[in-house]
Structure formats: C-alpha cells, structure tokens
Amino acid sequence: MVAVVVASSHTLATPSSPLSTTICCSNSINKTLSVTRRRALVFSSTVILSPLLNFYNPNSTSAIALPEDELQQEEDRLVHLFQETSPSVVSIQDLELANNRKSTSNEVLPIDDENAKVEGKGSGFIWDKFGHIVTNYHVVAKLATDKSGSQRCKVLLVDAKGNSFFKEGKIVGYDPDYDLAVLKVDAEGYELKPIVLGTSHDLRVGQSCFAIGNPYGFEDTLTTGVVSGLGREIPSPNGRAIRGAIQTDAAINAGNSGGPLINSYGHVIGVNTATFTRKGTGVSSGVNFAIPIDTVVKNVPYLIVYGTPYSDRY
C-alpha cells in the first residue's frame, strides 16, 4: 500500500454577527399588534402542535411509515448487493515454504503445511469461469519474482453454491506499470461466479461505491462510500505513474489490495490499490484509490494470453 505523510491542519472558525431587523411603530399600533400577535401565536401553536400530537400518537403510523420503509429498502438493497457480489471476491495469502519443503513451481502446494510462513495477505476477484483471478501486482510480487521455488500463493474461494475451498494460485501474467496481476486456480469440479464488469469512463463524483475485501485478514468485509474524485495519479510498484485512478472514501486498508470497488448495481468499477495514511499508523485516512476498470479490461486479456502487457511485446 502507498503511504505518505499527511499533515493535519486546523481552521479556526470565526462566528458571524446575526442579522437583526428593527420595526418602529406608534403606541396604539403596538397595542393592536400585541393583541393580534398573541392571537396569532395561540392559533399558530395549535396548528404546529396538532401534527406533532399526531406524530407521537401510537395509533397513527402514517407519519413514520414511509421513512421506515425507505430505510428498510435501502438496507435490503445493500445486503442483496453484498450477497450477490461477495462470492466473486477471493482472499489471497502469500506463503513461503520451509527450507526443507522448497520445490519447483510445478509441484502441488502443501497448503496445509503448518511450517509454511504467511508473508502477506490481499484480495482479488474472479475474472472468468476458467479460474482466472485478478489482483494487484504488489500482492503477489514475491511469487512473480521468485527464483528459489519457495514462494506459493494460497487462494480462498467460494463457489456458486456457497462452498468455501482453498486452491493454489499460479502466476499467469503481471504488469507492474499498472499494478495488475492475474492468477489461475484449478477450478475443475467447482462452479465459479465471475464478477460482473462495469465501466469507469462514465463515473461521476458523488455516486455511491463499495469495497469488498479482506482488510487485516478479516474476510468478506464490506465498506461503503462515494466516488470522491476522478483522474487521480498514484505511483505504481516500479515507480511509474498510474493515471486516471478513482479516489474514494470507502475504507481501503492493508489486505483490501486487489479487491473490487463496485457500484450500486454490483458491477466492478475499479481495483482497490492504495490509501494515504498518516506516517507510522498504516490506517486509512479516507483518501483511497482504485485502478479504473476500463484500464483493467484493456490489460488483463493480454496478461492471460501472453503473460506480459502489450507494451512489453513490441
């Protein structure tokens, strides 16, 4: 995750002087206005009090039924959104085998080996029914650059029936320039649920968005927010700039990397990638970033077919 120092600032608020209006009248007019005002006050109070009494009347539900219904509908919509999308999100663990268990990358991973050391955790999402998983490059960088045969990747998935299972993730391709990588798991015998792809070119600041991932290892965590900004620039693992990033205040923390940022329809609009943090805390400051899905859609097919980005082949 990208960490920068964010200086705190404090703004002193200066109260403004309240507006005032002065009305000058003669004594006789004052008396008439005084009586009229008292009558108006009594009448107005009765009018105001009447709906309030009705509001608190236990036998009357018309005043509060609509807001409660709307609230329930909104909650049901979010619950449904999570239930429909979360089976497409995976948890990724970087493992280092014990010295006496090092082997070639073609051998089956001993995923139940208690001596394997967990070196990092991240998220990803199911790209297609063939078992391709999209995540951030920095989540699997050790596996991608491993020369010793000691690195492995353990992926926790959920099939379309809701059954959880572990599989080894094999590196298919990666692109450090865009902080993207593709894994593949052997999904034979399982029905996977690929995520639904959306678009990012038509996003608007202020629209709702949601992040699903595994922050700090807590699987299937949903956080909510809005699109806070568009066209941002964030650094890639190799130091180059990733342009067009989506800024959101939906919480993204360590372990969220590689997971999907989705819209209100459950369509993925970005890959959660980075967050600004106060130095030394590692805690999200509410300024978080995702790689736009339009960029992902352009690059992932090349990674699946060729293993490298288009730019590296010419």
Concerning whether 132 is annotated as a catalytic residue, the answer is no
DSSP state of 300: H
Q: How far apart, in whole angstroms, are the C-alpha atoms of residue 185 and residue 190?
A: 11
Neighbours of 240 (CB within 10 A): 12
Concerning whether 76 is annotated as a catalytic residue, the answer is no
Q: Which of 129, 180, 184 is nearest to 155 (CA)?
A: 184
Q: How far apart, in whole angstroms, are the C-alpha atoms of residue 312 and residue 301?
A: 14
Which entry of 86, 88, 123, 138 is annotated as an active-site residue?
A: 138
pLDDT in tens, 2-54: 443 333 343 334 344 333 333 343 344 344 434 444 443 333 444 344 444 44
**Contact indicator for 157, 147 with CB cutoff of 8 Å:** no
* 66 band by pLDDT with thresholds 50, 70 and 90: low
Which entry of 91, 228, 236, 257 is annotated as an active-site residue?
A: 257
The residue behind tokens 């996003």 is 203
pLDDT of 83 above 60: yes
pLDDT in tens, 111-141: 566 678 888 999 999 999 999 999 999 999 9
The residue behind tokens 């005084």 is 34
Angle between the N-to-C axes of helices 62-85 and 27-55, in degrees from 0 to 180, rounded to the nearest 10: 50
DSSP H or E segment with residue 182: strand 180-184
Three-class DSSP category at 28: helix
pTM value? 0.75
Residue 100 dihedral angles phi and psi, to the nearest 5°: -85, 5
Which entry of 94, 175, 179, 294 is annotated as an active-site residue?
A: 179
Concerning whether 10 is annotated as a catalytic residue, the answer is no
Q: How far apart, in whole angstroms, are the C-alpha atoms of residue 87 and residue 193?
A: 7
